[in-house]
Structure 1
Amino acid sequence: MVQYALPHHAISRLVYRASRWRTPFTAALIRAFVQRFGVNLAEAAEPDPAIYPSFNAFFTRALRADVRPLPDDPLAWVSPCDGVLSQFGLAQSGNLIQAKGRDYTVAQLLGGDVALAEQFGHSHYATIYLSPKDYHRVHMPVAGRLVQMIHVPGRLFSVSPATVQQVPELLARNERLVCVFETDWGLMALVLVGAINVAAIETVWAGVVTPPAGQGISSRRYGADTGMQIALDRGQEMGRFNLGSTVVMLLPSACQFASGLFPGMTVKMGQALGGCAQPVAE
């Protein structure tokens, strides 16, 4: 497979710079991209391609406030992003399905942190693939308080459905950012998986987190005892991809999937995908 031999990070660093160039041709490039991939700019807060100073500014565009209403049910959990629901289910013996005939473990996904993985032993998971046409900001499925952020260096294989079916353990091999939150139902993790041409991943509390400054896994704790407290409501933006990729969610066992979901279905940020049990009063 050609992708094994590609200089993933060198290509992505070039894309990082190129996507931020300000040129007289930026608006024309955006219009061509919109037409090629069928981007719905009517949903954007700014629908005029000429307004965006760079391609990355367009790619990370905000939506109009009225186009993704949250469900009225306060116990409903929602999709964190636009995309395709490629896989979902219950983590069986710590295993997650990547594609038919291919799986990987929660511990691998979390950068080898076995103790943390054990806390997600009975979690539900969902994998959402963001295609080029999608809105590329990531939001909270439920309200949560950030307790840990882990950056895991790795390869940058494409995360297209075809590649995911071919490369073993791809989602646990690519560079990724693991964000662990405490919720009213237990721990939740949002894992933002990098891919080739994904020039950077950002969070609302730390800014650009990738490309990495070093080669090893890095971790930072959050909470009252650290002096850094981050609390985000359901539907609030938590991060974004500078060019597209995949989000893997690990949800508390008390948060169940709705009926009628199926692999390959298109989902939208803010769409109810299930419900959580009533939290136990302390």
Structure 2
Amino acid sequence: MEASTYLENDYYSEPHFTVFKVPEWRAKLYTFLSVNVWGNIPSPIQRKLSSKYASVYDKPFSKRFIKTYIRINYSDKNYLDKFKPPFGKSDFGSFQDFFIREFKELPKNDVPFVWPCEGLLCDKGKVSDIEKSRVKSDDRTITTIFGTLDSTIPKEYTFTNVFLHNKNYHRIHAPVNGTISRIQHIPGDLIVLRPWIYKQNPSLPAFRNERYNVDITDDKGRTWYLSIVGGPAVRTIELAKPIKVGGSIKKMEEIALFYLGSTCCMASPEAPKWHSKNTFVEVGATY
């Protein structure tokens, strides 16, 4: 899979990462291990194992790896200067603090619609064109991801799926001004998120993994559907405290954060202006 960036030098952060080209046989093996082996372990056990694994990153000793991780994964060695520790902390007390870092100053963009997160745009298309997925002998359409009926999301809406690598900024922000019209938690599995192992169906994990769905009704009365999807080692998805049904939300206001890896799907009445499948997007960039 080839991945490119749009105006890479203008990025406020550094969303790009190495996208591996996985041979067909290896992709099938990884898919089998993720879906048929790990995916058949009861979901509560998956979450328990993931939580235990994730807890390692909460330990104080893990903060020693932050500088090395930055040196290996970012071309900008002063990358961390754009961020601050989470929740008002004075320093990064663990590697998990680095994962859920906050911008010192959010990117500014005067356009009406922005990307809610950063990462690889691994899937994109009209809602009517995205193929079904078979999950545990059950064919599911794209609306399954968002927990809605097939007739709820207009077929002409655009579906996007952004995969957040471990190195990416792990907070989700509102793509538009509006009112929160629905919040839904869907328990599920925690199969591997990495899209390149699923080849023709990179959004497969979003059909079956645990997720929070948040709908935003914009000023024109149109609904923007967001699905915040967890994966292995994701201890939890945490909604921002001000987020509630009926509450107003401003563009770029925080919606949620991930503890470790994640994916963010969206079904929107607008189509991205500049980005195509397999390009990198950045939170706050023009949608």
Q: Which amino acid aligns with 1:268?
A: E
2:204 counterpart residue number: 169
1:120–1:187 contact (8 Å) kept in structure 2: no
In structure 2, C-alpha distance between the alignment counterparts of 1:41 and 1:104, rounded to whole Å: 41
More strand by share: 1
Structure 1: how far apart are the matches of 2:205 and 2:166? Answer: 19
* Count of residue correspondences: 236
Mapped to 1, the partners of 2:236 and 2:49 lie a distance apart of 12
Residue 189 of structure 2 aligns to which amino acid in structure 1? R
The answer to whether the 8 A contact 1:156-1:175 is kept is yes
Question: Where does 1:1-282 land on structure 2 (aligned, <5 Å)?
Answer: 1-3=32-34, 4-6=36-38, 7=41, 8-21=46-59, 23=60, 25-38=61-74, 40-45=79-84, 51-65=91-105, 68-70=107-109, 72-73=110-111, 75=112, 77-92=113-128, 95=130, 105-111=141-147, 113-114=148-149, 118-165=152-199, 169-185=204-220, 186-205=222-241, 222-223=245-246, 230-252=247-269, 255-258=270-273, 260-273=274-287
Structure 2: state its 5+ residue gaps: 1-31, 134-138
- Counterpart contact for 1:156–1:195, Cα < 8 Å: yes
Normalised to the residue count of structure 1, the TM-score between the two structures is: 0.74
Indicate how the Cα distance of structure 1 residues 201 and 120 shifts in structure 2: closer, same or farther if over 3 A, else same. farther
What are the ranges of 5 or more consecutive residues in structure 1 without an aligned counterpart?
208-220, 224-229, 274-282
Q: Is the 8 A contact 1:96 1:125 kept in 2?
A: no
What is the letter of the counterpart of residue 266 of structure 1? F
- Please tell me whether the aligned partners of residues 116 and 174 of structure 2 are also in contact (alpha carbons under 8 angstroms): yes
1:104 deviates by 5.5
**2:206/2:229 contact within 8 Å kept:** yes
* AA at the equivalent of 2:124: F
Distance 1:86 1:97 in 2: 16
| CA 27–19 in structure 1, closer or farther in 2 if over 3 Å, else same | closer
C-alpha separation in 2, matches of 1:54 and 1:119: 41
What TM-score comes out, normalization by structure 2 length? Answer: 0.73
Q: Is the 8 A contact 1:192 1:248 kept in 2?
A: yes
Structure 2 CA distance, aligned partners of 1:170 and 1:128?
12
Aligned CA distance change for structure 1 residues 30 and 104 (closer, same or farther; 3 Å): farther
Q: Give the conservation status (yes or no) of the 8 Å contact 2:66–2:95.
A: yes
Q: Is the 8 A contact 1:82 1:269 kept in 2?
A: yes
